[in-house]
Every structure is written in structure tokens, then in C-alpha cells.
């Protein structure tokens, strides 16, 4: 009976040591889990920030494309207006030259 009691005590001691080791391992794993959760939260926040920045950059790129198109359109309009002004100037010069010729003829 004494041997059985000693064997039972030894087995309880062994089980207690196993439980302590498992508890220590569980605590270590819990710390690793907490660390990983923290890193996951940081990564998710950074990802959200990157998505927000991307949305801002996409909006700015769209705005710049529209400005470039407007600029091209304005340039085309300006080119047409300039061509019309040049044509009008040539016609006015022609009229001035004709008037000058008529004045010369009248003076002669």
C-alpha cells in the first residue's frame, strides 16, 4: 500500500509538473498571440491609411486629367482665335493699303 501511495504521489507530482509546463507554454503562446494581434491591428490601420491615400491620389489624378483636357481645349480655342485675329489683321492691312493707294491716286 505504501508503494501504491508513493507511486500515486509520484504520478501526481509528474502530472503537476506537466500541467505547470503546459500552463507556461500556454502563457507564452498567449503572449505570441497578443503580439500577433497587435501587429495585425497596426497592419490593418496602415492598410486603411494606404487605401485612403490611394483614393486621394486617384482623385487628384482624375482632376489633373480634366485640367489637362481643359487646357488642351483652351489651347485649341486660343489657336482658333489667334488665327481669326491674324486673318482680320491681314484684311485690315489690305484695306489700309487700298485706302493708301486711293489717296495717292487722288493726290496725283
What confidence tens digit (pLDDT) does each residue in 19-77 have? 999 999 999 999 999 999 999 999 999 999 999 999 999 999 999 999 888 887 877 78
**Residue range 98-104: average pLDDT?**
88
pLDDT by residue (tens digit) across 61-97? 999 999 888 887 877 788 888 898 999 999 999 999 9
Q: Does the model's pTM come out above 0.85?
A: no
Q: How far apart are CA 106 and CA 108, in angstroms?
A: 5
Comparing 5 with 107, which gets the higher pLDDT?
Answer: 5
- Report how far residue 42's alpha carbon sits from residue 37's, in angstroms, rounded to the nearest whole number: 9
Q: Collect all residues with Cβ–Cβ distance below 8 Å to 81 and sequence separation of at least 6.
A: none
Amino acid at each position: 500500500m505504501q508503494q501504491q501511495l508513493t507511486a500515486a504521489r509520484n504520478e501526481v507530482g509528474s502530472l503537476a509538473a506537466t500541467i505547470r509546463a503546459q500552463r507556461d507554454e500556454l502563457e507564452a503562446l498567449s503572449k505570441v498571440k497578443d503580439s500577433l494581434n497587435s501587429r495585425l491591428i497596426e497592419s490593418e490601420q496602415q492598410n486603411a491609411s494606404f487605401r485612403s491615400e490611394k483614393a486621394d491620389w486617384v482623385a487628384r489624378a482624375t482632376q489633373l486629367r480634366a485640367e489637362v483636357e481643359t487646357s488642351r481645349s483652351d489651347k485649341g480655342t486660343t489657336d482658333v482665335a489667334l488665327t481669326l485675329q491674324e486673318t482680320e489683321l491681314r484684311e485690315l492691312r489690305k484695306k489700309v493699303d487700298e485706302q493708301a493707294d486711293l489717296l495717292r491716286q487722288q493726290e496725283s
